[in-house]
Amino acid sequence: MPFGLRLFVKKRGTRRTGSRWQAMLAEGVVDAALLAIGLYGLYWLVTRFITVEGAGYNWWPWLVMVIPFALIAYGAVGVMTLLWKSYASTERRAATVQKATDWEIPGTDVKSAYPPLPTIPPIDAVVDSPGVRLAFRLPIDAAPGWVSATMAAICLTWNTLVAIFVIQILRQHVAGNPNWLLTWLMVPFVLAGLWTLAALGRQVLISAAIGTTRVEVSDHPFFPGERYQGLVSQTGRLHVRWFQVQLLCEEQAIYQQGTDTRIATARVYRDVVFSQRKFDITPGQAFESGFEFTIPVSAMHSFATSHNAVHWTLVVRGRVRTWGEIERRFLIFVYPAAAAEIPVRELTHSFVRNRPR
């Protein structure tokens, strides 16, 4: 086959006909270009504004230096990561990650109250929160909170930089020396800043209107073939069209395609354990309802390795007027049926009996 660099390659299913080194080369060129642009931008700012005596510039050049520093950091991290992937084998990278996860934080008790089971996640971080009505309160997935924090950081950074440039452009117009090219170039940046403000405002309103979701269970961990009780609580000011609690099992596979790490998720089990339609939730009275669910006898237990995982979750889903669909996820753990014979369960029940009332 003749050698040639192709900019566009044909995709066959989930595979591509392009070679791995071409993808790594393109990624390295992009990272190196970002690093070079950042270095040149930093040099330009320092020589044109910061080190010039009597230029009359105040603090804004120092703040604008955030842009080249961000490009330098992103490009440098990308180049170093690419070099690490090129010279280190997959086995060595996996061993390094495993060694990092085994580090102990000083001042913390790393001894688990539950016997370790190979490839089965421990539940100590889940059963340390007692419930109000039932034995355990499940921790909620922190993804919505991270989304709000990320949006707030992006909105603040973007609009601060845009405001600095807008102020400088307005000063030029007031002084009678307008730069119309720069003025028109700033229009899309201002519109993007307004869009980030609107998106952040909507996210804050959704978080305030929907309120908190609480899920409690009667036991933890769970075992195949057994039945358990649950409680769901929802606060806020909502006109609910439909509201469900679903028991889900999802299989996850992490693989590498070229230089990208892909995560494929497939749903293997779904059961609606609670459903209710058309009701209102007021701020002074939270909606609460109990439900029961059964773990299937043939269910695969919770499983986690570096490349594969099986996750069980209780998902609270619904559709409300004005805000559309909502979804909150609560991770649970299903242990093998044989694990019921080891002290895990006895310790769990002991925790329930001895927990403070």
136 with 229, same domain: the answer is yes
137 with 185, same domain: the answer is yes
Average pLDDT on 155-179 reads 83
Total structural domains within the chain:
2
- Distance in angstroms (rounded) separating the CA atoms of residues 123 and 137: 13
150 with 228, same domain: the answer is yes
Confidence of residue 63 (pLDDT cuts 50, 70, 90): low
288 with 180, same domain: the answer is yes
Q: Quick check: is 322 in a domain?
A: yes
CA atoms within 13 A on the CB side of 112: 14
Q: Which residue has better confidence, 211 or 53?
A: 211
60 with 172, same domain: the answer is no
The pLDDT tens digits of the residues spanning 6-52 come to: 555 544 444 455 566 777 788 888 888 888 888 888 887 777 766 66
- Of 338, 345, 309, 323, which is closest to residue 120 (Cα–Cα)? 309
Q: Quick check: is 197 in a domain?
A: yes
Domain limit, last residue, from 78, 94, 110: 94
The pLDDT tens digits of the residues spanning 268-315 come to: 999 999 999 999 988 888 899 999 999 999 888 888 888 888 999 999
Q: Which residue has better confidence, 138 or 65?
A: 138
- Of 122, 353, 114, which is closest to residue 219 (Cα–Cα)? 353
Q: Quick check: is 165 in a domain?
A: yes
Measured in Å, how far apart are the chain's first and last C-alpha atoms? 74
* CA 272 centroid distance within chain: 25
Q: Quick check: is 24 in a domain?
A: yes
- Distance in angstroms (rounded) separating the CA atoms of residues 41 and 243: 53
Beta bridge partners of 288: 233
On whether the CB atoms of residues 163 and 60 are closer than 8 A, the answer is: no
Q: Which two tokens stand for residue 142?
A: 């922190």
The pLDDT tens digits of the residues spanning 322-346 come to: 888 888 899 899 888 766 555 544 4
Q: Which residue has better confidence, 259 or 203?
A: 203
Average pLDDT on 148-167 reads 82
The pLDDT tens digits of the residues spanning 215-257 come to: 999 988 899 989 999 999 998 888 999 999 999 999 988 887 7
Confidence of residue 353 (pLDDT cuts 50, 70, 90): very low
CATH number for the domain that contains residue 322 = 2.60.40.640
**Residue 215 lies in domain:** 121-357
Domain limit, last residue, from 94, 113, 130: 94
Q: What's residue 344's pLDDT?
A: 46
Q: What's residue 356's pLDDT?
A: 38
Write b or e for each residue in 132-171: b if 16 or more Cβ atoms lie within 10 A of its Cβ, otherwise e: eebbbbbebeeebeeeeeebeeebeebbebbeebbeebee
Q: What's residue 350's pLDDT?
A: 38
- Distance in angstroms (rounded) separating the CA atoms of residues 235 and 219: 24
Q: Quick check: is 110 in a domain?
A: no
40 with 184, same domain: the answer is no
261 with 354, same domain: the answer is yes
Dump the DSSP string for 12-48. ETTEESS-HHHHHHHHHHHHHHHHHHHHHHHHHHIII
Q: Quick check: is 106 in a domain?
A: no
Q: What's residue 288's pLDDT?
A: 92
pLDDT at 60 exceeding the cut of 80? no
42 with 178, same domain: the answer is no
The pLDDT tens digits of the residues spanning 114-148 come to: 556 677 777 766 667 788 889 889 888 766 667 77
250 with 348, same domain: the answer is yes
- Distance in angstroms (rounded) separating the CA atoms of residues 165 and 188: 13
195 with 260, same domain: the answer is yes
73 with 141, same domain: the answer is no
Q: Quick check: is 3 in a domain?
A: no
The pLDDT tens digits of the residues spanning 172-225 come to: 888 888 878 778 878 888 898 899 888 888 877 777 778 888 999 998 889 998
Q: Quick check: is 332 in a domain?
A: yes
pLDDT at 108 exceeding the cut of 60? no
Beta bridge partners of 65: none
How many other C-beta atoms are found inside a 10 Å radius of the C-beta of residue 334? 23
72 with 125, same domain: the answer is no
Q: What's residue 19's pLDDT?
A: 60
